[in-house]
Amino acid sequence: MKLGFIGTGAMGLPMLRNLLAKGFAVTAYDANPAALDVAVAAGAKRAASCADVARASEGIVTILPSASNVQAAYLGPSGILEAAAKGTLCIDMSTIDPGTARQVAARLAERGVRYIDAPVSGGVAGATAGSLTIMIGGVASDVEAARPALVAMGANLVHVGAVGAGSVAKLCNNLIAGVAFVAVSEAFRIGEAWGVDPKILTDVISTSSGATWAMQKNHPVPGIDPKAAASRDYAPGFTTDLMGKDLGLAVNAAREGRVAASVAAAAQQVYRMASAHGFGRKDCASVYQFLKPGSKDSPV
Amino acid sequence: MKLGFIGTGAMGLPMLRNLLAKGFAVTAYDANPAALDVAVAAGAKRAASCADVARASEGIVTILPSASNVQAAYLGPSGILEAAAKGTLCIDMSTIDPGTARQVAARLAERGVRYIDAPVSGGVAGATAGSLTIMIGGVASDVEAARPALVAMGANLVHVGAVGAGSVAKLCNNLIAGVAFVAVSEAFRIGEAWGVDPKILTDVISTSSGATWAMQKNHPVPGIDPKAAASRDYAPGFTTDLMGKDLGLAVNAAREGRVAASVAAAAQQVYRMASAHGFGRKDCASVYQFLKPGSKDSPV
Amino acid sequence: MKLGFIGTGAMGLPMLRNLLAKGFAVTAYDANPAALDVAVAAGAKRAASCADVARASEGIVTILPSASNVQAAYLGPSGILEAAAKGTLCIDMSTIDPGTARQVAARLAERGVRYIDAPVSGGVAGATAGSLTIMIGGVASDVEAARPALVAMGANLVHVGAVGAGSVAKLCNNLIAGVAFVAVSEAFRIGEAWGVDPKILTDVISTSSGATWAMQKNHPVPGIDPKAAASRDYAPGFTTDLMGKDLGLAVNAAREGRVAASVAAAAQQVYRMASAHGFGRKDCASVYQFLKPGSKDSPV
Amino acid sequence: MKLGFIGTGAMGLPMLRNLLAKGFAVTAYDANPAALDVAVAAGAKRAASCADVARASEGIVTILPSASNVQAAYLGPSGILEAAAKGTLCIDMSTIDPGTARQVAARLAERGVRYIDAPVSGGVAGATAGSLTIMIGGVASDVEAARPALVAMGANLVHVGAVGAGSVAKLCNNLIAGVAFVAVSEAFRIGEAWGVDPKILTDVISTSSGATWAMQKNHPVPGIDPKAAASRDYAPGFTTDLMGKDLGLAVNAAREGRVAASVAAAAQQVYRMASAHGFGRKDCASVYQFLKPGSKDSPV
């Protein structure tokens, strides 16, 4: 399958390299010329636009920062829809809301162009190692058609359901994870305020109903787990900015689905405030740092 | 050690039975005469007041519904403080805020009366089986002195720290657990709204960063885990009322410690609303039921 | 100016009647045939689609329930964009998010079609009386061109700024109002729980820093103000469903603007829960009813 | 009436001066010797403890920073309860939760000591000018007995209800005001993010359903209202620390009353975070500053 690849940034570039390494011929485009230059140097063929990619490709991978970028790449001027042949298979690996995924899919379907959403987890490290988890939404035959490309980039493929379901699964997982990091941080700040040893508190919680991946695999308190981001000055990992983005998409998906999402919304706003106050590019566990206690002489 | 026991309700009675079964002589009191009658029938000696218990005992176990009950039992008219001999060892197993625990301890200490806080987890089932987890705050020598009584009631004793630390540990654990049940419920309601199979969603999340005890041990969606409360019409387990109470105490401990607790506070209010709308005596996982989606014809 | 009118529902129909009464010739369309029949009976010319309206009109008024309806009417198949002549003036009076308004405007501008956003407040009563407040975003010359049509429908026209600014102004106002109804309801539920007379509480607050339109013009407690919705079984007025929708749009606009909106998000979720529990079509002040207190025997 | 006065700090001292200026003989105490020295220099008689004040007084005014200070002053060692004669009239003007007010009142009543709660609004400026608003809870005859002292300190006396009702009224008012400052700040940050002129936005909202004291009397955006704290680098006025404290007390009163308080709790946490990040001693309208937007290059 002749592949196109749109979005050769921090995540996209190592994924593209894995496709090239597995022998795919790839035509690439990125709105940022410098990013595209690196992709071409890595072995991709240069395209001048998304439409140009579409003309050269039977399958197209997109991985872009936001839903508006995805809409523009697919539906905008010089976008994929303008030039894609009937039957072209589009694989959107961006993290976006399921509503946009379905809207794009519907517009493409009017012209006989196929679309699956296939967001990933695993970060730049997983993208480089080809070990990403890929959560996939789409028709089974399209998912099968995409499989050779997907296995070049990821190690764990899950076909969740119809178009949009990949996005839903990623956002639901990150909703829980994002809320958990804030909850764990609040709990340990309370423990600290009352003089409780965080190691003992960790032991108690890890065998009880408060056990979470967030505490056990990426403990937000520095010094508890040497492998955790907290013990490496919160070097990411998964950034506060990105966790805030994903919680925002989850809350938006809740809104469109007429579902209340109180703790997700509260956590989203905490990450937003943390980002505004300088924690955006640190690991999301740095929300613990942001939640520093008030001065001892403030009234209670 | 001659023991006193104050609070022979749903939790206290089976704990008292275990003490009696292990051979302790116990003098009991409960403000509710019917509850006290059952305790006496079980083998306890009847007391007429908290002070009366104190006069008869070297060690006193209290397990009461709220901080104001604890204050009254210890510091109020005909309370423990009025009658306890110097050196008496008080073991408060109620779930209260650490501020009240420390306040009571300080008042008792003025008279040379000893106090540890030792809240439990495990519910009525654990109380009956003698398998409670007991989180303990107090001076080491007091904790050791209490150990024979505690091992008669619980299987897992953790000495967390100074007075109040037991309460802090319990509240911090339940803060995370309580938030997690709401977060998991929100995630699965979003999944439902977007047509995602909850079993597949469970599989995805259970191996990813959203993994939590709440989803894996007491899944809030009916039919996923036959052992979970959700699959038994949300029979408790741990009720919505109690989870709301514990989150409220945690948020209060955060306030007194000058710590922000945004997601804990949001979750607390959700449980409060769920209780007001009829879910108070169901398992706390029934927050999933409370969070039912809006009508399809409501605008978004 | 030959006018088109798309969206002849509860709000649109009386607005259309006012345009007809002022002598405008109007070609109308609604996706619901019954709604369109009523509009035709009122004197409008029937169109078969949005594109059909566009072909017949120099100016087009749209008032639709949601952003996705607006996108479909303007950009979808048989939409306005397919058929509108260069220079056509589009007046979108729907309440949508400013991001969608700007996106639609940009797509129209590519074809030389003009667009202003002009959401309204005043409800069905104001639409019928022609007394709506209209908050307008757009280029000054477009706003002036729209003025004759707008003054036929509203009494208070405010040109807020560029395209999208009308939506921003409406959402910001409703953010504050929506939050205020919840805050006032919480305050009066606290007062009730502690036995304070709501009339005295109203007097205290109305002359102090807690004074708000919400309490003074539409008091949420029944019996305080006979003119308020609360004293008429919460007959709307402005419904819980619509307040939740507008808060959701405001929170979404905050997200897209990288702004934290903690209390708006909390209030949005309360309205969402109230809607799910049967308060959606009551006046938004019925959030007071939804926030009923818990049972006296629930633990605290 | 021979008066006692406990708490001669920033608020208490000018109130004490007004009592002295009106001819009351006052015996004063403060745990801080320097604060007490100033009170004595102003004309008060020095006492060595709260009990010492009680021995010298027929009426006692207390104005202290927190509920725990109030409990200690009344019920602790060398406290008022130890020494007050039967019939002594205690006037607590601290801002505390109604539960503590009622608890203290009940303990005093056991010994025939009278108690009213009488928290104030108006700040240091109002305390100095003798123009405070005083919200009073207590038995009518006690309120009448306290009136001569109260009118020496305040200009607007409101008898709200039974003991605790003064505190409830103050907290309910500040709940709404505190939430409103956050809501208004969120709205104007959204407006700013979308390029809307804050003066026009102010005009729109001030005549619509979003009108609030917070925006109209203490606009949080610098430069809109020259009299507002925002235009004077957020010099207080009423500080972020104090607003956070009062919201915390309101949320606690809601908890004890089994009432949900979602937006109050969300606002409380925002003030708590603002305090921790350096805004505690600025005017509470500085929450607008704290809610600065995120970087333009953070993903949404």
Tens of pLDDT, residue by residue over C53-97, are 999 999 999 999 999 999 999 999 999 999 999 999 999 999 999
The whole-number pLDDT of residue D126 equals 94
Q: Name the residue facing C204 among D98, D158, D203 (closest C-beta).
A: D158
Contact A299 D65 (CB under 8 A): yes
Token pair of B170 as six digits: 């319990």
Interatomic CA distance for residues A280 and A268, integer angstroms: 13
Contact D294 A280 (CB under 8 A): yes
Chain C contact set for A260 (CB, 8 A): 269, 272-273, 276
- Catalytic site residue from A2, A86, A170, A227: A170
Pairs across B and C, CB distance < 8 A: 59
- Catalytic site residue from C86, C170, C217, C245: C170
Q: Name the residue facing B173 among A133, A204, A258 (closest C-beta).
A: A204
Which of A148, A204, A169 lies closest to A95 in space, CA to CA? A169
The whole-number pLDDT of residue D1 equals 87
Token pair of B248 as six digits: 């409220």
Interatomic CA distance for residues C106 and C100, integer angstroms: 10
Q: Name the residue facing D174 among C203, C210, C214 (closest C-beta).
A: C210
Q: Which fold has domain B3-161?
A: Rossmann fold (3.40.50)
Asked whether the beta carbons of B150 and B137 are under 8 A apart, the reply is no
Residue in this structure with the two tokens 């809030």, named with its chain if needed: B220
How far is C107 from chain A, CA to nearest CA, in Å?
9
Handedness of CA B222, B226, B229, B233 (dihedral sign): positive
Asked whether the beta carbons of C270 and C263 are under 8 A apart, the reply is no
Chain B contact set for A264 (CB, 8 A): 183, 186-187
Interatomic CA distance for residues D152 and D118, integer angstroms: 14
Residue A115, beta-bridge partner list: A90
- Catalytic site residue from D2, D22, D170, D296: D170
Quick one: DSSP state of residue A58? S
Q: Are strands C59-62 and A154-161 parallel, antiparallel or unpaired?
A: unpaired
Superfamily of domain B168-290: N-(1-d-carboxylethyl)-l-norvaline Dehydrogenase; domain 2 (1.10.1040.10)
Interatomic CA distance for residues B251 and B263, integer angstroms: 10
Assign residue A233 a region: left if phi > 0, alpha if psi is -120 to 50, beta otherwise?
Answer: left
User: Residue B1 above 90 pLDDT?
Assistant: no
Residue range B222-249, pLDDT digits in tens: 999 999 999 999 999 999 999 999 999 9
Residue of B nearest to D107 (CA): B76
Interatomic CA distance for residues B282 and D176, integer angstroms: 33
Interatomic CA distance for residues C38 and C15, integer angstroms: 13
Task: Give yes or no: D170 in active site.
Answer: yes
Report residue C1's pLDDT band, with 50, 70 and 90 as the boundaries: confident
Distances (CA, A) of D177 to B126, C205, D161, D258: 46, 9, 22, 22
Residue type, A94: S
Which of C242, C234, C244 lies closest to C289 in space, CA to CA? C234
Interatomic CA distance for residues A47 and B156, integer angstroms: 65
Chain A contact set for C77 (CB, 8 A): 110
* Domain range summary for chain A, segments of one domain joined by +: 3-162, 168-290
Chain D contact set for A277 (CB, 8 A): 277, 292
Chain D contact set for A242 (CB, 8 A): 299
| pTM (2 d.p.) | 0.97
Residue range D228-256, pLDDT digits in tens: 999 999 999 999 999 999 999 999 999 99
How far is D35 from chain C, CA to nearest CA, in Å?
30
Chain C contact set for A266 (CB, 8 A): 262, 265-266
Interatomic CA distance for residues D279 and D150, integer angstroms: 33
CB neighbours of D173 closer than 8 A, spacing ≥ 6? Answer: C187, C204, C205, C208, C209, C210, D121
Q: Which fold has domain D3-162?
A: Rossmann fold (3.40.50)
Asked whether the beta carbons of A258 and B294 are under 8 A apart, the reply is yes
Interatomic CA distance for residues C168 and D196, integer angstroms: 8
Report residue B197's pLDDT band, with 50, 70 and 90 as the boundaries: very high
Which of C155, C151, C161, C164 lies closest to C133 in space, CA to CA? C155
CB neighbours of C165 closer than 8 A, spacing ≥ 6? Answer: C98, C117, C135, C136, C137, D194, D195, D196
Q: Taking all residues of chain B, what is their mean pLDDT, rounded to a whole number?
A: 97
pLDDT in tens, chain A (300 residues): 899 999 999 999 999 999 999 999 999 999 999 999 999 999 999 999 999 999 999 999 999 999 999 999 999 999 999 999 999 999 999 999 999 999 999 999 999 999 999 999 999 999 999 999 999 999 999 999 999 999 999 999 999 999 999 999 999 999 999 999 999 999 999 999 999 999 999 999 999 999 999 999 999 999 999 999 999 999 999 999 999 999 999 999 999 999 999 999 999 999 999 999 999 999 999 999 999 999 998 999
Interatomic CA distance for residues D172 and D165, integer angstroms: 10
Neighbours of C60 (CB within 10 A): 28
The whole-number pLDDT of residue C82 equals 96
Chain B contact set for C300 (CB, 8 A): 66, 245, 248
Which of C228, C220, C194 lies closest to C279 in space, CA to CA? C220
**What stretches in chain D show pLDDT beneath 50?**
none
SS3 state at C93: coil
D105-110 LR contacts (CB < 8 Å, sep 24+): D105/D163, D105/D164, D107/D74, D107/D75, D107/D81, D108/D74, D108/D80, D108/D81, D108/D84, D110/B77
The complex scores an ipTM of: 0.97
Up-side HSE of residue B216: CA atoms within 13 Å toward CB?
Answer: 18
Residue D117, beta-bridge partner list: D92, D137
Which of A283, A287, A296, A295 lies closest to A268 in space, CA to CA? A287
Contact D275 B259 (CB under 8 A): no
Q: Name the residue facing D269 among B77, B99, B262 (closest C-beta).
A: B262
Interatomic CA distance for residues B286 and B271, integer angstroms: 10
Q: Name the residue facing B260 among D252, D259, D276 (closest C-beta).
A: D276
CB neighbours of A113 closer than 8 A, spacing ≥ 6? Answer: A80, A81, A84, A85, A86, A87, A88, A90
How far is A83 from chain B, CA to nearest CA, in Å?
30
Distances (CA, A) of C212 to A172, A181, C96, C198, D245: 38, 36, 25, 16, 22
CB neighbours of B207 closer than 8 A, spacing ≥ 6? Answer: none
Angle at CA of residue C204, ends C202 and C210, nearest 5°: 80
CB neighbours of C183 closer than 8 A, spacing ≥ 6? Answer: C212, C214, D175, D176, D179, D180, D183, D263, D264
Residues of D near B (Cβ–Cβ under 8 Å) read 68, 77, 110, 248, 251-252, 255, 258-262, 265-266, 268-269, 272-273, 275-276
The whole-number pLDDT of residue A194 equals 98
Interatomic CA distance for residues C244 and C265, integer angstroms: 10
Question: N- to C-terminal Cα distance for chain B?
Answer: 65
> Could you give phi then psi for residue C22, rounded to 5 degrees?
-85, 5
How far is A225 from chain B, CA to nearest CA, in Å?
16
Residue in this structure with the two tokens 């036929």, named with its chain if needed: C152
CB neighbours of D102 closer than 8 A, spacing ≥ 6? Answer: D163, D164
Quick one: DSSP state of residue D231? G
Token pair of B130 as six digits: 């003698």
How far is C23 from chain D, CA to nearest CA, in Å?
30
